[in-house]
Structure 1
Amino acid sequence: MKLFQAASALLLSLPLFATTITDIKFVGMVHISESIAKSMLKVEVGDELDVENVDKSIKAFFDQGYFTDIWADEENGVLTFHFVEKPIISKIKMSGWKESDKEVQDSLLQIKKGALYDDKRLQAAKKRIIEALSQEGKIDSVVEIETEYLDNGSVAVEFKVNEGETIIIEAMQYEGVGGLEPDVFEASIANKAHQWMGWFWGRNDGKMQLAELGYDPLRMRDVYMQNGYLDAKVDEPFVRVDFDSYTAQMSYQVSEGNVYRTSGIVLSQEKQVIDNELLREVVQLELQEPFNIKTFREDADRIKTKIADLGYAFVEVVPDLRKDKENKTVEVVFRIMPGEKVYIRNVVIAGNGRTLDRIIRRELYLGPGERYNLTDLRDSKNALGRTGYFESSTIEEKRIDEKTMDLIVKVKEAPTGNVQLGGGYGSYGGILLSVGVNDRNIFGSGINVGIKLEHSERTQNYSFNISNPRLNDSDFSGNFSIYKSIYEYNDYTVHTDGVTLGAGHRFTRFISGYLGYNYAAVSYEDIDPEYFILNPQLVRYFESYNKSSVTVSANFDNTDDYYLPRSGWAISQSFEKSGIGGDANFFKSRSTLNKYNGLEPYLGFDAIFRFKGRFYAAADTGFLPQAEGFYMGGLGSVRGYESYSLPYIIDEEGNAVRVSATQTASSNIEVSFPLVPKAKMRFSVFYDLGWIKTDRPELGNVPEMFRMGYGAGLEWFSPVGPLQLVFANPVNADSNDNISHFEFTIGQRF
């Protein structure tokens, strides 16, 4: 207001007789064009000079937010408006906290280069920074704003952050707790007391999370309601903070009440669209058992899914509880409003710049004209994820009217065409480098083509493969591959040339079968004469041979993604019979089981639990060559040991001689954590266990081998494909074992 008063005083000093405006000029104005400025004026050329209207014009300009000062003067009928514009911010940064996290800085500052300097916006950004620090449990934080006016007239702004102290919760007290042990609900709350070695994973560091204080009582009450305590009350926590040591003690006042048992389940349909008995089959609440609010919510969702699968896309399930405090029972009521049956009008594909529409549509279980089905919709999304063609996919439901909807399928394509690089180092094989060109979705056709070249000091592998998971968009698949390999061991070299072809069929959404044929020619060269002198029992296993075999397999896969699944099972069983022509005659069985679970609902962040198991067995039905047995070590079995280095026997001179096994099993337990989500980088820890056994009487008493390994890995969706770096250590290695501490691969699923 001082600005306008000053302008008014200046104009009042003009002569009292009427002055006619002959021209209007603007000085120092850049951000507003002259034509726009004239449209904002309350005076025009030809008007008599009016102080009040000039004052209104100045205020209108000032309200635009571009100026720090505006004034007007008049001379010989020329009215001139003078402007001092706010400087432009040419540099802005935040130091002292989150310096390398541009995403966080942008969300807190909300000021871009090129913006006008505005003190109110700077103060608002400062407030957001302090609030963010408070949410991390930091108090007494200080943020200073430093500005520097540069020679070009712009200004550089720096937010200097001095993080405050973190409050450590030393003790937690729960008054009124008796029916449940504190451990039951402490797992669900964010603020917990500090534990010894709190810095270690799985322990509580005791850092107070101020933003979560208001939610912890709700979490505690929810746990009580999962155990039948429907009248439970949890007051806001009382916090006593020692600002000298930045420690705190917290206490909760809890009123548990009584345990309610489920006395009845009522299903009330607004209009009968399904037999109530069919709905009761999906309800998991049990009569006369303590009520569980979590199961109650899940039952409502299961009922909704059951009815939505009949086409009622807009069904509403309203759950209700009728408590009987006297008898300590609760009657559960599900009010169901199904609406009308809905049909799909159209399916729109978006985001696929390379993948053909038909490749996407063939994975969808809903199409134009079909009746809506919620399970089909969810399975369609998972099917798109399992292809490995897309980084992400969503299916939006666009309501047209009460009886029709459109499905909008939005995909973000992944780099399916990539150069695969792999490698590792072992004391036996030295440096291993693997280079391959592979495209799981060549030209967007859904066809997988790959060429692989692998070379180390002792191995060479060359292969070409092509496969189509959906021949002519049908449920049939086909594959063809040709390969050549050379493995050089200490005492001999193995050459293998082979070809494989096969066909498969998808029987259900998750179950598929495969029938394949393989022919291979295997020869041994450069055998050390002393090798057989020391190991005469191995002579028959080093004869060159041909293998002609048939493989039959079945697979179950309901995971939600190809490269990074967060839910589902992947199970396979295959049988191979050799002896249909050729020299080799054996029978093999291979079983694998993978389980994936997303842990975000339990931990609050995108962690993933993985279990991978395998069991392989072979039977000699005539001739089981050395090269057709099983081995253990490296990626896919037990990490920390060189790939395929186990088992072995000890010869007469004490040397470890590698032999193949007839049985092997391994299990891998992994947990993957988000590391840099924006860069699609994750961190994993693992523990591997493996067992391998050789049933070959001619080899003598070959001991069973049990090995373990542990380590960590880096998982990154790099521009050239999924990259995995593995750092491993053996647990119970023998002195004769070949150890490998590092391996990496690109292009394989995690």
Structure 2
Amino acid sequence: MKRFMSLHLLTAFLFFLFTACITAQETSYEDGKKYILGGLEVTGLQSYNEQTVKTYTELRVGQPITIPSDQISAVINKLWGLELFTDITFYVTKIEGDNIFLELNIIERPTLSNVTVYGEKKNKINEILKDTDLKKGKKITESLIANSKNYLQNKYKKKGYLNVKVNIATAKDTVGDNTQSMVVNIKKGEKVKINDIIFEGNDQLSDNTLAKALKKTKKKKFYRFWKKSKYIEEDYKADLVSLVDRYAEKGFRDARIISDTFVKVGDDLIDLKIKVEEGNKYYFGDIDFVGNTVYTDRQLGQVLGLKKGDTYNGVLMRKRIADDSKPDGEDLTNLYQNNGYMFSSINPVEISAENDTINFEVRIIEGKETFLDHITVTGNDKTNDHVIFRELRTRPGQRYNKSDIIRSIRELGQLGFFDAEQIVPKIENPDPNAGTVDIGYSLVESGSSQIELQGGYGGGGFIGTLGLSFSNFSIKNLFNGEAYKPVPMGDGQTFALRLQASRTYRVYSLNFSEPWLGGKKPVRFNMSLSRTQQFYYNPYVSRKPDKSKQFSITGLSVGLAKRVQWPDDFFTVSHSLGYQLYDFQDYNIGLFNFGNGKSNSLAYTFGLSRNATGGGRIFPRSGSNFELTAKFTPPYSLFNGKDYKKLNADFDQAIEDRDSEEVERIDQERFKWLEFYKVNFKGDWYTTLIDKLVLRTNAEFGFLGSYDQEVGKVPFERFYVGGDGLGTYTMDGRDVVQLRGYENQSLTPYSVDRMTGGQSQDGGVVYNKFSLELRYPLTLKPSASIYGLAFLEGGNAFNNFHDFNPFEIKRSAGVGLRIFMPAFGLLGIDFGYGFDQDYNPNSAGPSGWQTHFIIGQQF
């Protein structure tokens, strides 16, 4: 036995010498001796199967093998590459003639059993473990520990924790064989902030000018809350490039940063020292265009906008050649791209510098005129292809036009069927020789149908609203049972049912809309039916409404809207005709002076709108959207032969005589057919200020007028201002105008009833409103779009045009949050403070804080 052990040790020692010689590369592999592998034993395994390791070595019993040789070294290197073992050793156990027997001894790396993280919040630990891939069962290697440590240190340094310290320790765990637990200890320390920024060598540009060029690197000041003063290396390096660009904008082409250092002035404070070399100031000389045949030098010069003698501005010149920040920018590249020359390239080249003047050549390779070959769409599982293709501005055979692609993205986003943030056009199969290219639009469908759930107080009690709106409906499949998923969808039509109800109030409505009537042109057809009922309710007499006393409105309207090409193709002209029947059954609502009878309204509405917003419907980032509508009834007083002056005189006399029956008769005769005109304007403008910060500017105006002053203003179609703007009680055709910071409809003046002397809120005949709203998105992912907002608003309503003063407004300010999820629709909450007193006779002083909700659900 001892002899065998000695032989075993001797053989192992000889094998070690062989491999050492191989490693030292001093002995040729040709000196090795050839054997037949008689057997291979794997020892030291704890968690791996022996046969698996043997298979991985690719060594087979019976195969020829040379000892020593690169064959064994290759096996060892292959096993080391797995990073699963801490030691790998081959031993020669015995030699029998030409047969050699080997032992492969392996020491496995320990397995990670659990990880404990200290120094970070609990809700952040899962993110750390995911990013570092520290999960149970992972083999613990030196590189795993080093990479995890470096990642965490860099992660926190990027957030401004320059003094962060990360320690990772492991210890044997008794839970399993060869397992170790790990402890990650993170000491972030305080965020390092910038105490001061010191510039050196700047004679031409002031410290203040250079400091403004550093967009994300700011020194600490007590009033700074929008842009933080923490030091983040990545932002700082980008700002140094911006600083050089600022010099280039001012004509200093040769400006450069000689050095930048930071000096520690405290545990969490540093000073930045930036030394610059400004160089000389330059001016543009001759700018010649070379290679252009499609456009003349004059046309290109007008777009470039740079002239001889102008201060040299390298940044501006790059933007005028190709502005990467604006896909639809007015630059030379887009000029060619929008005219079919997709393969064009434009490069400005300095050809000479004489004293302080730089001469340029703008070298243009126009390439071959490009045409569209194939247009494809993907990702539309519910929406039919023709609904998408009819919105596209790109067609096979058309000349390539980049602006058409951008416009197509906007049109698809405006449909509301797809996630606007994920509409991606892909340039496919470009062929410069043939002058052809394919375009593929990648789409991600979002919820396009909606359930509306609202609750509010009005009309004598709680009002609940249930609405079903299918905005991608397919009416042709209405009787196709297989198309119900859960309803027939895919043709882009809108079908909506809505019910509002309370103890005293009910409304039923049905709406249908076809956006492409006939399927060839964007002509929208709309039809709606509605029925509303209001029951008499006196809480002092009974807790139940008296349904024998009621007021109802039955309405029908049809309309057409068409996109037009002038002044541009963002405009839409609409026409609609509507009829309403007002029926009173022993019911007096205060607006009319009669409680029994009928009144009719036949009105034509003309609309002009322009929707040119960009960035999607949920969170527009640019552009504008305005709508002007004018609603008219026929001027019955011109041809019905009634003497309204005499009717008014008789009415005044009846009021004086307190003859209620005569008052009711005259009022019913005067308003048998309603006569009015109504003008509304609403405009929204969106401007991106910084990064994703968007300013929404809004202006609104409405006026209800009459053709004949003797007829007077109709009691319907009035304006009610204030509150959340949810139209929970709109049976009389009123416009409910949002103005946060005040109770619902509380900014509508009261009027005096001449018969009873009491006050009533009959609605305004003119209103105006202005608002500024800052919006910033927290996330715009398909699963949830969330943005916060801060607003300033002002508006008011007036009982007649003579009292109208656009500057006499009720003011408010506040903050809010909006959440849009396909499963729930738009949810929102606003906290607004009203600075002025509303029109409620019982109120005193400012309106104060009010909370407003927006509730909806979408699937």
Same topology, TM > 0.5: yes
Residue 165 (structure 1) aligns with: 190
Structure 1 stretch 366-375 or stretch 667-676: which is displaced more? 667-676
User: Residue type matched to 1:394 in 2?
Assistant: V
Q: Aligned letter for 1:588?
A: K
- Higher Cα Rg, which structure: 2
Report the counterpart of residue 651 of structure 2 in structure 1.
none
SS of match in other structure, 2:377: strand
| Structure 1 position 422, deviation (Å) | 3.9
Aligned partner (choices 339, 360, 365) of residue 393 of structure 2: 365
Question: How far is the alpha carbon of 1:321 from its aligned partner?
Answer: 4.6
Q: Is the 8 A contact 2:12 2:93 kept in 1?
A: no
Contact 1:98 1:104 in 2 (8 A): no
Task: Letter of the 1:507 partner, please give it.
Answer: V
Out of 475-484 and 330-339, give the one that drifted further.
330-339
Distance 1:399 1:433, change over 3 A: same
Instruction: Indicate conservation of the 8 Å contact 2:283/2:358, yes or no.
Output: yes
Q: Secondary structure at the match of 1:515?
A: strand
1:481 corresponds in structure 2 to 528
Percent of residue pairs identical: 20
Shift of 1:389: 1.2
1:367/1:89 Cα in 2 relative to 1: closer, same or farther (>3 Å)?
farther
For residues 526 and 264 of structure 2, the distance between their equivalents in structure 1, rounded to whole angstroms, comes to 68
Q: How does 1:251-400 map to 2 (within 5 A)?
A: 251-256=273-278, 259-268=281-290, 270-285=291-306, 288-301=309-322, 302-321=331-350, 324=353, 326=355, 328-391=356-419, 392-400=422-430
Equivalent residue for 2:577, pick from 517, 539, 543: 517
Please say if residues 573 and 591 of structure 1, whose CA atoms lie closer than 8 Å, have aligned partners that are also in contact.
Answer: yes
CA distance in structure 1 between the partners assigned to 2:357 and 2:16 by the alignment? 90
From 18, 22, 28, give the equivalent of 2:38.
Answer: 22
Counterpart in the other structure of 1:628: 717
Equivalent residues of 2:749, 2:798 under 8 A apart: no
Q: CA deviation at 1:390?
A: 0.8
Query: How far does residue 412 in structure 1 lie from its aligned partner after superposition?
Result: 0.8
For structure 2, list consecutive stretches of 5 or more residues without a partner in the other structure.
1-7, 18-32, 95-99, 323-330, 474-488, 539-548, 637-671, 726-736
Number of aligned residues: 723
**In 1, Cα distance between the equivalents of 2:195 and 2:317?**
36
1:669 to 743, 749, 772: 772
The aligned residue for residue 574 of structure 1 is: 629
CA contact (8 A) 1:542 1:625 kept: no
Q: Which is worse superposed, 499-508 or 126-135?
A: 499-508
Quote how far apart the aligned CAs of 1:715 are.
2.1
1:337/1:587 Cα in 2 relative to 1: closer, same or farther (>3 Å)? same
Match of 1:219 in 2: 242
What SS does the aligned partner of 2:431 have? coil
Deviation at 1:732, TM superposition (A): 2.0
Preserved CA contact (<8 Å) 1:692 1:704:
no
Which is further off, 232-241 or 351-360? 232-241
CA distance in 2, matches of 1:473, 1:416: 23
The change in CA–CA distance for 1:162 and 1:435 in structure 2 (over 3 A counts) is: farther
One-letter code aligned to 2:495: V
Q: Distance in 2 between matches of 1:654 and 1:711?
A: 38
Q: State TM-score, norm by structure 2.
A: 0.75
Deviations 1:297-333 (A, max 9, x none): 332132111122221111111124567563x444454
Instruction: Name the CA distance, whole Å, in 2 between partners of 1:430 and 1:709.
Output: 28
Contact 1:218 1:234 in 2 (8 A): no
CA contact (8 A) 1:586 1:624 kept: yes
d(CA) in 2 for partners of 1:248, 1:662: 62
Kept in 2, the 8 Å contact 1:670–1:684? The answer is: yes
Report the equivalent of 1:124. Answer: 147
2:254 maps to 1:151:
no
Q: Equivalent residue for 2:738?
A: 637
Secondary structure, counterpart of 1:272 in structure 2: coil
Aligned partner of 1:133 in structure 2 is 156
> Aligned in 2, Cα 1:61/1:395: closer, same or farther, shift over 3 Å?
same
Cα shift at 1:352? 1.4
Aligned equivalents of 1:108, 1:727: Cα separation in 2:
36
> Is contact 1:217–1:237 with CA below 8 Å preserved after alignment?
no
Matched, 1:584 2:650: no
SS of aligned partner of 2:247: helix
Asked if structure 1 preserves the Cα contact closer than 8 Å seen for 2:472 and 2:490, the reply is: yes
Question: Does the C-alpha gap of structure 1 residues 18 and 662 become closer, same or farther in structure 2, counting only changes over 3 Å?
Answer: closer
Distance (whole Å) between structure 1 residues aligned to residue 346 and residue 505 of structure 2: 62
**Structure 2: how far apart are the matches of 1:524 and 1:727?**
38
**Structure 1 residue 131: deviation in Å?**
1.0
Report if the CA contact (8 A) 1:662-1:693 is conserved.
yes
Cα offset for 1:271?
4.5
Task: Find the partner of 1:549 among 598, 603, 606.
Answer: 603
Letter in 1 for 2:681: S
After TM superposition, the structure 1 = structure 2 runs for residues 459-498 of structure 1, keeping only pairs within 5 Å, are: 460-471=506-517, 472-485=519-532, 495-498=552-555
Show structure 1 runs of 5+ residues with no match: 1-6
SS in 2 for 1:213: helix
Q: Which residue of 2 aligns with 1:4?
A: none
Question: Residues 506-532 of structure 1, C-alpha deviation per residue, up to 9 Å, x if partnerless?
Answer: 12341221111122233567868xx97
Match of 1:444 among 490, 496, 499: 490
Rounded to whole Å, the distance in 2 between the matches of 1:368 and 1:702 is 56
* CA distance 1:188–1:444, shift in 2 (3 Å): farther
Aligned residues of 1:572 and 1:593 also touching (Cα < 8 A): yes
Task: Indicate yes or no: 2:803 matched with 1:743.
Answer: no
Query: Aligned AA for 1:745?
Result: I
- CA 1:228–1:65: 2 relative to 1, 3 Å: same
Measure how far apart 1:165 and its partner are: 2.1
Deviates more, 1:70-79 or 1:680-689: 70-79
Change over 3 Å in CA distance of 1:378–1:44 after alignment to 2: same
CA contact (8 A) 2:284 2:311 kept: yes
Residues 629, 247 of structure 1: alpha-carbon distance in 2 compared, 3 angstrom cutoff: same
Q: 1:656 and 1:50, CA in 2 relative to 1: closer, same or farther beyond 3 A?
A: farther
Q: Residue 3 of structure 1 corresponds to which residue in structure 2?
A: none
1:21-40 aligned at under 5 Å gives the runs 21-26=37-42, 28=45, 34=51, 37-38=54-55, 40=57
- 3-state SS, counterpart of residue 441 of structure 1: strand
CA contact (8 A) 2:747 2:838 kept: no
Matches within 5 A, 1:726-741: 726-734=829-837, 736-737=839-840, 740-741=850-851
**Larger deviation: 187-196 or 342-351?**
187-196
| C-alpha displacement of 1:228 | 3.4
| Alpha-carbon distance in structure 2 between the residues aligned to 1:159 and 1:526 | 80
Match of 1:682?
Answer: 787
Which residue identity is paired with 2:852? F
How do 1:176-255 residues align onto structure 2 when only pairs under 5 Å count? 176-177=201-202, 179-189=204-214, 190-198=216-224, 200=225, 202=226, 204-244=227-267, 246-255=268-277
Offset at residue 413 of structure 1 (A)? 0.9
Deviation at 1:122, TM superposition (A): 2.8
Residue 575 of structure 1 and its aligned partner are, at CA, apart by 1.2
Shift of 1:396: 1.0
1:646 to 736, 740, 747: 747
Deviates more, 1:355-364 or 1:537-546: 537-546
Query: Does 2:44 match 1:12?
Result: no
The 3 A distance-change label for structure 1 pair 378 and 676 is closer
Distance (Å, rounded) in 2 between the aligned partners of 1:704 and 1:297:
45
Identify if the C-alpha distance between structure 1 residues 540 and 273 changes in structure 2 by more than 3 Å, giving closer, same or farther.
Answer: farther
